[in-house]
């Protein structure tokens, strides 16, 4: 009976071809539950009754993806798409290839991992390297097979190659537009805030700890990638899609094999006009090179695949009224005008604010208070004002004047001739401090959990003095006396342990929350050099650039002493970044900050377990990891290699220098042997680093 119900699920949720009436299906499910209640020993993990667990999870387990779930670069014009194709042709060195194009579903990426043919775990994309295990939640999506199936005509039977230890299927979970409207209608009736768009609703659902709540959302999925034991399953993407569809997975049928890039362009143009025909949101088209051999040759950057690209549809526009403009001050002092709008729905999102970029853009647009304006989403992400509808002016509109002084600290603003951005130059500006601390504590920087906006506001604001009885202390004029803020820069965070009582006294804090925060701050001392460099908030230094600088210099001391010329000569570091880094370390205030962080115990060097500076013996070498190593986890081995100047790739090619193979190594080992790439084990890796 379990097998029969699974077949009905496949027909209904994947093929959209019901084979039994709802009343009959419900009766079968009822009978199965009764049988399993009588014989609990017969319950299997892939039983239809196990789709929605009655247990509420305590949290999500972290999972390290064996193959990184990398993002895609975006193109916003047909010219960009053609230019990408030419780059691929050049990188492929004349090797012939064609394309597969697929609709870009606006949802949440999931990896479905099957062991011995049964769903073992489902994992979110996370940061690409690590995701969260959400298996019980994924089981509520009825189009996700609980076991891999084969299909031959009308007959379905299990088909699984026992030699394959693991099958991984990647896809995009999404919320259909009808379900999105239903959920928002129900939330409005319950006087709950509406979801802004289907993507957010889907993402929020997958992070619910109670699978029953997830089941109510009625998510669906389209699958698009197939891996056997961590390697591409077939020579082409087209064959993988065929296998997925044949074996019970829901594949979007609006994909197309394209012989040339012009065929792919035609597909993009077609769906740009047909997107409203669909029952789900798409924001573009994904163009992939079909041949896996070429994919592996092209490889990937640290963030994205080189052999695939997303063509994003031109932004949609809507009109609304501009009510006011507010001015926000960022961590670098940049003053950004933000339009306050009459809320309006744009591309599935309710928009009430939009960027005006800078004073020059405001002047170019000629915006006035009360204007009706067109807004659009740049790259379907950031709302921005693009045009004033002057025909709708009534004469009651009023002009805006860009501030001459900082709206937060009152310092006179400056605008360098070479820049479009107006900045607050005051190093003690509270807004710069708040934004800088939030960046310092962010997940990709020092990762201090619990240090959010509200708490940072309290930590950086003066406090009313109170005596031992808790009464307000006043000055000679009878006004409340003020104590200085607890935190004036990032280094002050590491002194909060000595001011625990004052921390506990903050609103909504308490002893437990304070201790948790202090533990996070203490742990952040070991975040690593790359995270620290990123956390410092140097202009133009993003996460990747921070990693490049850290790997090159190995310590803050050497980085701070580098000249602009030395910095500019580093691969991927240009003149602008070099000048910015050099200027940052020239500042006496910044040098003092770094010194205080070091005195607080924040690690300033890339060090080995023994405390010695790591030698960069792997400089210029590319490694591939496969199998299970005796003592190192995959991410530990990756860090070991990268901290010594090496690069870790996800696939084997002629450019690979070493394959580090452990127990149960997969197809990457075979590929290395085929190409003659040197193969070493964990001991060989350790010996290599000592040579």
CATH of the domain at 665: 3.40.50.10190
Q: Are residues 160 and 176 in the same domain?
A: yes
202 found inside a domain:
yes
Residue 302 pLDDT more than 80?
no
608 found inside a domain:
no
Instruction: Enumerate the active-site residues.
Output: 104
Mean pLDDT on 559-573: 86
Range of the domain at 362: 317-399
Q: Are residues 226 and 347 in the same domain?
A: no
Cα–Cα distances in angstroms (integers) from residue 651 to residues 163, 232, 655, 670, in the given order: 21, 10, 10, 12
Q: Are residues 112 and 212 in the same domain?
A: yes
Mean pLDDT on 585-603: 95
Q: Are residues 384 and 486 in the same domain?
A: no
Q: Are residues 501 and 590 in the same domain?
A: no
Q: Is the pTM of this model over 0.85?
A: no
CATH of the domain at 151: 3.30.470.30
Q: Over the stretch 306-327, which tens digit does the pLDDT of each residue have?
A: 999 999 987 677 899 999 999 9
544 found inside a domain:
yes
CATH of the domain at 392: 2.40.50.140
Q: Are residues 91 and 141 in the same domain?
A: yes
Count Cα neighbours of 443 within 13 Å in the Cβ-side half-sphere. Answer: 3
pLDDT band at 508 (very low <50, low <70, confident <90, very high): confident
407 found inside a domain:
no
Number of domains comprising the chain: 6
**Residue 10, pLDDT score:** 58
Q: Are residues 563 and 521 in the same domain?
A: no
Given 510, 525, 540, the domain boundary residue is: 525
Q: Are residues 131 and 225 in the same domain?
A: yes
Mean pLDDT on 624-629: 88
Nearest 10 degrees: Cα torsion 639, 643, 644, 645: 100
Q: Are residues 246 and 306 in the same domain?
A: yes
The CA distance from 405 to 196, in Å, is 35
* Average pLDDT for the chain: 84
Q: Over the stretch 107-122, which tens digit does the pLDDT of each residue have?
A: 899 999 999 889 999 9
**Residue 194, pLDDT score:** 63
Q: Are residues 127 and 274 in the same domain?
A: yes
With vertex at residue 126, the alpha carbon angle to CA 120 and CA 129, rounded to the nearest 5 degrees, is: 85
Residue 406 pLDDT more than 90?
yes
Mean pLDDT on 628-656: 80
Given 312, 334, 369, the domain boundary residue is: 312
Q: Over the stretch 49-65, which tens digit does the pLDDT of each residue have?
A: 655 443 434 468 889 99
**Residue 428, pLDDT score:** 85
611 found inside a domain:
no
422 found inside a domain:
no
Q: Over the stretch 85-96, which tens digit does the pLDDT of each residue have?
A: 999 999 998 889
Q: Are residues 233 and 117 in the same domain?
A: yes
The CA distance from 385 to 447, in Å, is 34
The CA distance from 497 to 157, in Å, is 62
Least trusted range by pLDDT, from 375-379, 499-503, 538-542, 677-681:
375-379
Tokens of 103: 């609709």
615 found inside a domain:
no
Mean pLDDT on 288-298: 94
Q: Which of 102, 108, 112, 191 is nearest to 148 (CA)?
A: 112
CATH of the domain at 570: 1.10.150.20
CATH of the domain at 46: 1.10.287.610
pLDDT band at 659 (very low <50, low <70, confident <90, very high): very high
Mean pLDDT on 493-502: 93
Q: Are residues 210 and 280 in the same domain?
A: yes
| Residue 38: count of CB within 10 angstroms of its CB | 8
The CA distance from 677 to 654, in Å, is 7
The CA distance from 39 to 379, in Å, is 55
Q: Classify 479 in phi/psi space as left (phi over 0), alpha (psi -120 to 50) or beta.
A: beta
Q: Which helix (H) or strand (E) holds 111?
A: strand 108-115
């Amino acid at each position: 009976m379990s097998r029969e119900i699974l077949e009905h699920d496949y027909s209904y949720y994947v093929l959209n071809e019901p084979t039994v009436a709802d009343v009959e299906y419900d009766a079968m499910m009822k009978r199965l539950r009764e049988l399993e209640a009588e014989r609990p020993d017969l319950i299997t993990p892939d039983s239809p009754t196990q789709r929605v667990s009655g247990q509420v999870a305590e949290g999500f387990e972290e999972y390290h993806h064996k193959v990184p779930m990398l993002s895609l670069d975006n193109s916003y014009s047909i010219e960009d798409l053609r230019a990408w194709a030419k780059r691929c042709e050049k990188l492929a060195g004349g090797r012939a290839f064609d394309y597969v194009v697929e609709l870009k579903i606006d949802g949440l990426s999931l990896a479905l991992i099957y062991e011995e043919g049964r769903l073992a775990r489902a994992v979110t994309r996370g940061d690409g390297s690590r995701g969260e295990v959400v298996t019980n939640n994924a089981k509520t999506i009825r189009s996700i097979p609980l076991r891999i199936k084969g299909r031959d005509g009308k007959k379905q039977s299990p088909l699984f190659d026992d030699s394959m230890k693991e099958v991984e299927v990647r896809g995009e979970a999404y919320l259909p537009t009808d379900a999105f409207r239903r959920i928002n209608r129900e939330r409005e009736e319950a006087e709950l805030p509406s979801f802004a768009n289907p993507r957010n609703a889907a993402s929020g659902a997958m992070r619910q700890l109670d699978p029953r709540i997830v089941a109510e959302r009625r998510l669906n999925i389209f699958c698009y990638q197939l891996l056997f034991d961590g390697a591409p399953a077939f020579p082409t993407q087209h064959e993988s899609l065929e296998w997925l569809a044949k074996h019970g997975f829901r594949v979007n049928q609006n994909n197309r094999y394209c012989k040339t890039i012009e065929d792919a362009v035609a597909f993009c143009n077609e769906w740009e006009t047909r997107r409203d025909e669909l029952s789900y949101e798409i924001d573009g088209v994904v163009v992939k090179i079909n041949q896996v051999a070429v994919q592996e040759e092209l490889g990937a950057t640290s963030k994205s695949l080189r052999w695939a690209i997303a063509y994003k549809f031109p932004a949609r526009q809507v009109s609304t009224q501009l009510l006011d403009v507010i001015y926000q001050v960022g961590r670098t002092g940049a003053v950004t005008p933000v339009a306050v709008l009459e809320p309006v729905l744009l591309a599935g999102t309710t928009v009430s604010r939009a960027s005006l970029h800078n004073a020059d853009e405001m002047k170019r647009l000629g915006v006035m208070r009360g204007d009706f304006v067109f807004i659009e989403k740049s790259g379907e992400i950031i709302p921005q004002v693009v045009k004033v509808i002057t025909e709708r002016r009534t004469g009651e509109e009023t002009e805006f004047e860009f501030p001459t002084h900082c709206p937060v600290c009152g310092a006179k603003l400056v605008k360098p001739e070479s820049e479009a951005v107006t900045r607050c130059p005051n190093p003690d500006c509270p807004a710069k401090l708040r934004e800088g601390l939030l960046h310092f504590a962010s997940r990709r920087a020092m990762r201090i959990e619990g240090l959010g906006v509200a708490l940072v506001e309290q930590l950086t604001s003066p406090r009313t003095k109170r005596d031992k009885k808790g009464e307000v202390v006043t000055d000679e004029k009878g006004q409340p006396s003020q104590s200085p803020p607890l935190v004036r820069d990032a280094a002050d965070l590491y002194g909060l342990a000595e001011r625990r009582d004052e921390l506990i006294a903050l609103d909504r804090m308490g002893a437990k929350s304070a201790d948790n925060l202090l533990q996070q701050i203490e742990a952040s001392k070991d975040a690593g050099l790359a995270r620290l460099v990123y956390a410092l908030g140097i202009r133009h230094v993003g996460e990747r650039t921070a990693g490049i600088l850290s790997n090159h210099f190995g310590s803050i001391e050497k980085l701070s002493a580098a000249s602009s010329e030395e910095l500019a000569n580093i691969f991927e570091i240009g003149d602008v970044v070099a000048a910015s880094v050099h200027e940052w370390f020239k500042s006496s205030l910044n040098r003092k900050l770094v010194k205080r962080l070091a005195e607080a115990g924040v690690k300033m060097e890339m060090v080995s377990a023994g405390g010695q500076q790591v030698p960069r013996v792997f400089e210029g070498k590319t490694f591939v990891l496969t199998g299970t190593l005796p003592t190192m986890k995959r991410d530990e081995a990756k860090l070991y290699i990268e901290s010594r100047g090496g690069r870790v790739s996800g696939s084997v090619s002629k450019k690979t220098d070493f394959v580090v193979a452990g127990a149960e190594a997969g197809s990457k080992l075979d590929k290395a042997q085929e190409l003659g790439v040197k193969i070493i084990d964990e001991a060989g890796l350790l010996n290599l680093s000592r040579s």
